[in-house]
């Protein structure tokens, strides 16, 4: 229906621009009629009183008067084209102005339609990222927990969208508020909201209000998905679902409102000076660092997997069951990131979208090479999982400044992120923070680096970037620590050692991902 409306509008505009105007024919008709009238002026316009008053040479005077009228007619013919030309010029100018206005209206409508469509496509690309998260987490964990991993990912994306509609969207974008916290409320019903022109036309933005909601909802669910990977293979299903719901519904919109909702990071921190404003283009801090440090708190409360850390400071690697799945997941995430970053332009502006695609790609590639080289040097072997996490680290790193950096700056940011993620993963293992998929390092640590990089390579102020990213990360860590500590103290957070050994697929779901496969023994 919407496309039909715009097609009809374009057809109407096209008819006005290209059809032959009937007024042209009418002008030519008027010109012939006026010439004919002036040539017959001796018959119709001469003053008859002269022929009756003058008695001498009546016929001569009459003839002279007729000749005079004909001369006037001839002069009129010479003057009329100029007059008509002036009228034509004025009419042409008016017509040109009308055409330009119509063309401008069509251009605005076309850009709005294309932009709205692009942001919707970007939202779909971000949705695909949830499939990427599911396969990465499944591949990097043991096969006996695959159903549990997949179930949590199904829950997170569905719960995330509904709670964001119920509370989160209006809490994150409240309009005028105190800059720190706003109450949420359900999005309007379509019958009350969908026909309002100010929400469905360029008067709202380069996209409709519905597009705005669905794009942001895809981001909200991502934060809880990051936590899911970090606590994999030992967390109780029900308590995790409760904690993830509280994170997405209440905590995530608060920090989001600080910047994207016009809160204190957006205005108070800079003191009105735009050059000192906190910048987080697509969410290195607001999405990734938030999820990463919420995951760190959950892991801290939960503890490591049994058998991971041995006496004497030794560590036993617990290998994932499917590197092909993990690799597929990373490339799905890479693909979805074009929507994550490219859609954050919030329009189909050709220059901005194409720049973001380039910086996103180069940062990811540089991150992969940086982590590949670093892990090869440190571990003496080329490590695929580190290389995959390097791609993600580069993507997280560039997310804050993808629209405000040049291509080679993006390469540097991604390369450093790829190096950082290797050292970070090894560091957390050393202090016995067990993160099966490296979520804390990829999203938390590299999210901070990417935000700071905007103050180094981009248009941001380093001080504002530092204050902003630390504030978001600290809030996420403290809030998650409170939530999961409370859950642990009340209903319990961790499965029993026996269930962990058997696998959560059987203990939590009574189902296996690979029922016909025989477990490998070493």
Domain span(s) for CATH 1.10.3430.10 in the chain: 106-509
Averaged pLDDT, 131-145: 97
Express each pLDDT in 100-122 by its tens digit.
565 555 566 799 999 999 999 99
Encoded tokens for 108: 């605005």
Q: Smallest Cα–Cα separation from 400: which of 518, 306, 315, 287?
A: 287
Q: How confident is the model at residue 224 (pLDDT cuts 50, 70, 90)?
A: confident
pLDDT surpassing 50 at residue 33 = no
pLDDT surpassing 80 at residue 300 = yes
Q: How confident is the model at residue 192 (pLDDT cuts 50, 70, 90)?
A: low
Q: Which pLDDT value is given to residue 196?
A: 66
pTM score above 0.85? no
Rg (CA), the chain: 36
**Domain over 106-509 is classified CATH 3.40.50.1820:** no
Express each pLDDT in 390-435 by its tens digit.
999 999 999 999 999 999 999 999 999 999 999 999 999 999 999 9
Q: Which pLDDT value is given to residue 107?
A: 66
All residues at 6 or more sequence positions from 163 whose CB lies less than 8 Å from its CB, including other chains: 220, 245, 248, 249
Cβ contact 144:504 at 8 Å: yes
How far is C-alpha 377 from the geometric centre of its chain's CA atoms? 38
Q: Which pLDDT value is given to residue 88?
A: 57
Three-class SS state of 429: helix
Q: How confident is the model at residue 6 (pLDDT cuts 50, 70, 90)?
A: very low
Averaged pLDDT, 56-62: 41
Identify the DSSP state of 214. H
Q: Which pLDDT value is given to residue 340?
A: 97
Q: Which pLDDT value is given to residue 222?
A: 87
Q: Which pLDDT value is given to residue 274?
A: 77
Q: Which pLDDT value is given to residue 313?
A: 82
- What whole-number distance in Å separates Cα of residue 10 and Cα of residue 114? 14
Q: Which pLDDT value is given to residue 199?
A: 86
- 97-101, 183-187, 221-225: least confident range: 97-101
309, β-bridge pairs: 315
All residues at 6 or more sequence positions from 314 whose CB lies less than 8 Å from its CB, including other chains: none
Express each pLDDT in 244-266 by its tens digit.
999 999 999 999 999 999 999 98
C-alpha distance across the termini of the chain, in Å: 62
């Amino acid at each position: 229906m919407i496309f039909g409306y715009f097609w009809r509008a374009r057809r109407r505009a096209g008819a006005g621009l290209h059809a032959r105007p009937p007024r042209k024919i009418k002008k030519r008709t008027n010109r012939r009629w006026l010439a004919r009238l002036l040539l017959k002026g001796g018959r119709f316009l001469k003053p008859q009183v002269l022929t009756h008053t003058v008695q001498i040479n009546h016929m001569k005077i009459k003839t002279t008067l007729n000749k005079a009228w004909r001369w006037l007619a001839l002069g009129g013919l010479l003057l009329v084209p100029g007059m008509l030309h002036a009228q034509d010029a004025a009419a042409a100018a008016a017509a040109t102005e009308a055409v330009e206005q119509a063309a401008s209206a069509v251009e605005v409508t076309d850009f709005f339609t294309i932009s709205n469509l692009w942001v919707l496509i970007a939202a779909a690309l971000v949705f695909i990222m949830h499939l990427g998260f599911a396969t990465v987490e499944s591949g990097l964990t043991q096969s006996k927990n695959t159903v549990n991993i997949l179930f949590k990912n199904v829950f997170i994306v569905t719960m995330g969208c509904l709670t964001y509609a119920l509370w989160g969207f209006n809490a994150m974008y409240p309009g005028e508020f105190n800059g720190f916290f706003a109450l949420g409320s359900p999005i309007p019903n379509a019958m009350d909201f969908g026909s309002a022109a100010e929400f469905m036309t360029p008067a709202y933005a380069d996209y409709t209000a519905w597009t705005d909601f669905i794009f942001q909802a895809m981001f909200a669910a991502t934060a809880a998905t990051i936590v899911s990977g970090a606590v994999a293979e030992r967390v109780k299903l029900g308590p995790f679902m409760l904690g993830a719901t509280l994170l997405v519904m209440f905590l995530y919109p608060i920090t989001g409102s600080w910047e994207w909702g016009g809160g204190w990071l957006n205005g108070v921190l800079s003191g009105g000076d735009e050059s000192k404003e906190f910048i987080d283009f697509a969410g290195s801090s607001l999405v990734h660092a938030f999820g990463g440090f919420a995951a760190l708190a959950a892991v801290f409360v939960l503890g490591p997997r049994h058998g991971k850390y041995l006496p004497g400071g030794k560590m036993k690697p617990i290998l994932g069951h499917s590197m092909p799945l993990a690799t597929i997941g990373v490339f799905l995430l890479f693909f979805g990131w074009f929507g994550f970053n490219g859609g954050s332009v919030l329009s189909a502006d050709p220059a901005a979208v194409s720049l973001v695609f380039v910086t996103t790609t180069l940062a990811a590639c540089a991150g992969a090479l940086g982590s590949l080289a670093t892990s090869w040097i440190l571990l003496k072997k080329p490590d695929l999982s580190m290389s995959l996490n390097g791609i993600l680290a580069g993507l997280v790193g560039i997310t804050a400044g993808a629209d405000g950096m040049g291509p080679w700056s993006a390469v540097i940011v991604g390369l450093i992120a790829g190096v950082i993620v290797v050292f970070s993963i090894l560091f957390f293992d050393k202090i016995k923070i067990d993160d099966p998929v490296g979520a804390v390092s990829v999203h938390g640590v590299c999210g901070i680096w990417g935000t700071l990089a905007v103050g180094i390579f981009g248009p941001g102020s380093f001080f504002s970037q530092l204050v902003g990213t630390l504030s978001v990360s600290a809030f996420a860590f403290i809030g998650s620590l409170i939530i999961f500590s409370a859950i642990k103290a009340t209903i319990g957070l961790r499965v029993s050692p026996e269930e962990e050994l058997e696998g959560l697929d059987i203990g939590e779901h009574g189902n296996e991902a690979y029922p016909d496969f025989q477990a490998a023994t070493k």
